[in-house]
Each structure stands twice: as C-alpha cells, then as structure tokens.
Structure 1
Amino acid sequence: MRIGELSERTGTPRRLLRYYEEQGLVVAGRSANGYREYDERCVDRVVQIRGLLDSGLPTRVIKQILPCLNTPRAIHFSGATPETIATLEREHDRLAERVECLTHSRDAIFEYLEAVRRAQAPAAPQAVESVVLVPYDLAATA
C-alpha cells in the first residue's frame, strides 16, 4: 500500500510516517516510480509505535523494543544500556498505575450504569387493591 493509504488506515499523518521510516521504525519498499510501498504489517506496526509514543517512550527506545513485539519468545535486546533499562522500568511502572486507575474508573462507570439502568427499568406491576365503586347520588347530599 502507498503512504496515503497507510496514513488513512492508521490516522497518522504522512509526515510522521516518513519520520518513522527515517528513524528505522518502519520499512518501506520502493515501487518502480519511486513511491513508498508499505507491507500490510505496517498498519499494526504504526499503531504500536503511536501507542508507545503516546505512553511517553522516545523513538530510540521504541526502536529497540519493536522486535520484542513481533516475537515475544525470542527477545534479543542488543544495546540495552542501564539508561534504557531504567526508562523501560519507569514506563512499566507508570503503565501499571495507569491500568489500575483505568480499571478502577471502568468498574465505577459500570456500577453507575447498572444503578441507572435499575432506576430506569419499568417497575414490576404492583397488586392493586379492589375498589368498589358506589354510585354517588347528588340529590341525597342536598
């Protein structure tokens, strides 16, 4: 697919896609006319990159961990400096806190929705007492 389609499918501006390529985060082939051609797997890759960038990781760290996202059982982490490891540990802790907070918020919203649904549910028919209607005679009261 060409860069425009990848941009559209991932919601990522073309300029950022070119930047990801410059940083070695995605790889594009070239067609005969020189246009960039992206593999279908680039869609997921770009979504992963955006998520990692949104979580605060710099592109140099993302470049190192991207291979781990494809084959998590065969992790080869060359060049893992103490700084990189510390960054990943901080990011892991921050994400764990965020997940906990999001889980708490999700549960609170669910409980609220359940309470609202119960309150809005049609009430079950209640037993009505028998009422005997007695004709009212206006002349008798006069």
Structure 2
Amino acid sequence: MQDPRLLAKPPVCRLGCLVLVRNPRGDVLLVDPDYMDGMILPGGSARPNEPPHLAAARHLNAETGLHLRLSDILAVDFTPADRYLQRLNLVFDGGTVPDTTPLTVPPRHHSGLLGARFVPVRQLPDTMAPAQYARTSEALANRTLPALVHGQRAT
C-alpha cells in the first residue's frame, strides 16, 4: 500500500556511488575529471530506482573498464546542499586488483576524464581535494558494512 503523502513530494538528494579499489601495494585507484580540481574515487550518481551497488559497478566499469562485484560499504558521507543538491555518497569496497589488471579510460570528450591511475596512500592529500581526501581516508580506515536491498545482501 502506497501512502500518497510520502510520494507527493519526495526529498531531492543525489545518491553518489563510489568505489575504493586498491592494488597489492595498497595504492588507491583514482580518476582525474576535467571538470574539477584534484582526483576522485571512481563512481557517480545512481539513476532513479537503481540499486547503489549496481550504480557504483556501472560507473567503475565505464570509467576504468573494471568489472567488479560490489557488496560491501566502507563509508557513508552526507553533504548538505550548497551550490549542489544535498548528497549522500556511499563508498563501496572494490577490493584489491592485480597489478596486471588493465585500466581502460574512455576518451575525454566522451567521459570528461583525463585519466585514471593508482596513487600511493601517502600522496592522497596532495592529489585530492580536502573533502574527497577525508572521505577516502575514512573509507580506508573502516571495516565493511553489508549493502542491503530490501533487507537482503546486495548481489
């Protein structure tokens, strides 16, 4: 049963679905967007009704060519509205990929990305904007939480 009061004016919030991927040395995979200063974790917004773990996997694949199954969350970051809508960013655990894993970044005119690369953890503060670094640093320090869809583990 739907409550029309709940559906009349749903809150407007962007759901960001990001992925923390590391290599065997512990370096963090970042992408370099041409539309902002600093590098960021791969990911992007979920489409309406798209499960966040699938949105994160979709963006990761589109930005780097990696196909990963995501089911655990490392951090949840709420950002109040400023010049953008309020945002809720979920950082998924992409695990560790071998050094031999190729990265495929689409052309800049299509993706808005200048590239992607693994960055040593000690270089993250100099590579990322402060808020991006803080989110990534928290994700690196946390244990995973399961991502759930209707109370069931995301698959």
TM-score by length of 1: 0.24
Structure of larger gyration radius: 1
Higher relative contact order (CA 8 A, sep 6+): 2
Name whichever structure is richer in helix by fraction.
1
Bigger share in strand? 2
In the superposition, the TM-score normalised over structure 2's length comes to 0.22
